[in-house]
C-alpha cells in the first residue's frame, strides 16, 4: 500500500486536480493499493473525482464520538458519508500538537472499527527517544495501549504506519535496515498479542521523507509493506513514481 497524507495543504480545486492526475498516472496498475488522505473539506469532492478508480480515500483523523457538541471536530459517521474507507489515527503531528495520547488513539481506533473504517494506525519514536535507546519500549507501549481491548477479528485489514518522528518532513529517512528492524519488532509484538497469522496479515507501512529515490530500497525489506508519504504525495508525478517504484 502506498498512502498519501496531504496534511493541511491544497485548496479545493488543487486537491481535485491532484487526485485526477494521480488516478490517470497509475491507471491499470496492479498489485498495489493506493490511498489518499485529503483535508476534510475536500473529501467528498475528491471521492467524486475518483469515480470508479480503485484509489482508497482516508480521513486524516476522526473524533471518537459519533456526534455531539464538539465544535471543530469530525466524526467517523461524517467521513464515511463523505466516502472514506480508511482513517489515519494517531499521527505524530496529532500527538505532538493536539495532545493526542495512546488512550485517545485507542478510543479513536475503537470508534473507527465501529464505523467499519480501516485504521491506519501511526506509531513512532522521537529523536530523543531513539538516542536514549527507548525506541522499542516506546513503540511497544504505543501499539499495546493503542490496540488495548480490541480483538483481532475487529482488526481485519489493519494498517500500521511506522513513522519515526525525526524523519517526518525533515528529509532524514530511516535507513532501510532501521525501518526493517522496527517493522520486524512490531510484527513480533503483534504475533505475541494476536498470533503469527494475524501479524502476517497486518500491513506495516514506513513513513518519513519517503521519495522516489528511496522507495525501492525501503520496499526491498521483508517487513516493509508500503509507505505513508507526506510532502512527496502533493505532486502527482512524484507520488505516481513512488506508487510505481
Ligand atoms: P513526510 O511525511 O513524507 O513529509 O516526511 C510523512 C507523514 O507525516 O505521514
Atom of ligand 1 nearest to the CA of 167: 5
Express each pLDDT in 159-216 by its tens digit. 999 999 999 988 888 999 999 999 999 999 999 999 999 999 999 999 999 999 999 9
Quote the cell numbers at residue 109.
481506533
- 3-state secondary structure at position 71: coil
**DSSP-H helix ranges across 195-224:** 196-201, 212-219
pLDDT at 10 over 90: yes
| Among candidate residues 50, 43, 47, the one with its CA nearest the CA of residue 23 | 50
What's the 33 CA to ligand 1 centre distance in angstroms? 18
Concerning whether 177 is annotated as a catalytic residue, the answer is no
Express each pLDDT in 24-52 by its tens digit. 999 989 999 999 999 999 999 999 999 99
Q: How far apart are CA 134 and CA 146, in angstroms?
A: 18
The model carries a pTM of 0.97
**DSSP-H helix ranges across 55-175:** 76-81, 92-97, 102-114, 127-131, 135-146
Query: What is 2-243's CATH number, 3.40.190.150, 3.20.20.70, 2.70.50.60, 1.10.1510.10?
Result: 3.20.20.70
All structural domains of the chain with their residue ranges: 2-243
pLDDT at 129 over 90: yes
What's the 195 CA to ligand 1 centre distance in angstroms? 30
Q: Is 15 in the pocket of ligand 1 (CB under 6 A)?
A: no
Region 98-122 average pLDDT: 98
Q: Is 233 in the pocket of ligand 1 (CB under 6 A)?
A: no
Q: Which pLDDT value is given to residue 173? A: 86
Atom of ligand 1 nearest to the CA of 231: 4
Region 42-67 average pLDDT: 96
pLDDT at 118 over 90: yes
Atom of ligand 1 nearest to the CA of 170: 5
What's the 188 CA to ligand 1 centre distance in angstroms? 25
Concerning whether 30 is annotated as a catalytic residue, the answer is no
Q: What is the CB neighbour count within 10 angstroms for residue 181?
A: 16
3-state per-residue secondary structure call for 82-110 = CCCCEEEECCHHHHHHCCCCHHHHHHHHH
Query: If you take atom 6 of ligand 1, which residue's CA is the nearest one?
Result: 230
Return the H-helix or E-strand segment holding 205: strand 203-207
Q: Is 164 in the pocket of ligand 1 (CB under 6 A)?
A: no
Q: How far apart are CA 58 and CA 3, in angstroms?
A: 9
Amino acid at each position: 500500500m502506498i498512502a498519501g497524507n496531504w496534511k493541511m495543504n491544497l485548496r479545493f480545486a488543487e486537491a481535485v486536480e491532484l487526485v485526477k492526475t494521480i488516478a490517470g498516472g497509475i491507471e491499470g496498475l496492479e498489485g498495489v493499493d493506493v490511498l489518499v488522505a485529503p483535508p476534510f473539506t475536500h473529501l467528498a469532492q475528491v471521492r467524486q473525482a475518483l469515480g470508479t478508480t480503485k484509489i482508497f480515500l482516508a480521513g486524516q483523523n476522526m473524533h471518537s464520538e459519533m456526534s455531539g457538541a464538539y465544535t471543530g471536530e469530525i466524526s467517523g459517521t461524517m467521513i464515511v458519508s463523505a466516502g472514506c474507507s480508511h482513517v489515519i489515527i494517531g499521527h505524530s503531528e496529532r500527538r505532538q500538537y493536539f495532545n493526542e495520547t495512546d488512550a485517545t488513539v485507542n478510543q479513536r481506533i475503537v470508534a473507527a472499527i465501529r464505523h467499519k473504517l480501516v485504521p491506519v494506525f501511526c506509531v513512532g519514536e522521537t529523536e530523543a527517544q531513539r538516542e536514549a535507546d527507548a525506541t522499542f519500549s516506546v513503540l511497544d507501549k504505543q501499539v499495546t495501549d493503542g490496540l488495548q481491548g480490541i480483538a483481532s477479528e475487529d482488526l481485519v485489514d489493519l494498517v500500521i504506519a511506522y513513522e519515526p518522528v525525526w524523519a517526518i518532513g525533515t528529509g532524514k529517512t530511516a535507513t532501510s535496515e532501521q525501518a526493517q528492524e522496527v517493522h520486524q519488532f512490531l510484527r513480533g509484538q503483534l504475533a505475541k498479542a494476536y498470533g503469527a497469522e494475524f501479524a502476517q496479515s497486518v500491513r506495516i507501512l514506513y513513513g518519513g521523507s519517503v521519495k522516489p529515490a528511496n522507495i525501492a530500497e525501503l520496499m526491498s525489506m521483508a517487513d516493509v509493506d508500503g509507505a505513508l508519504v507526506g510532502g512527496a504525495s502533493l505532486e502527482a508525478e512524484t507520488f505516481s513514481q513512488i506508487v510505481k517504484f
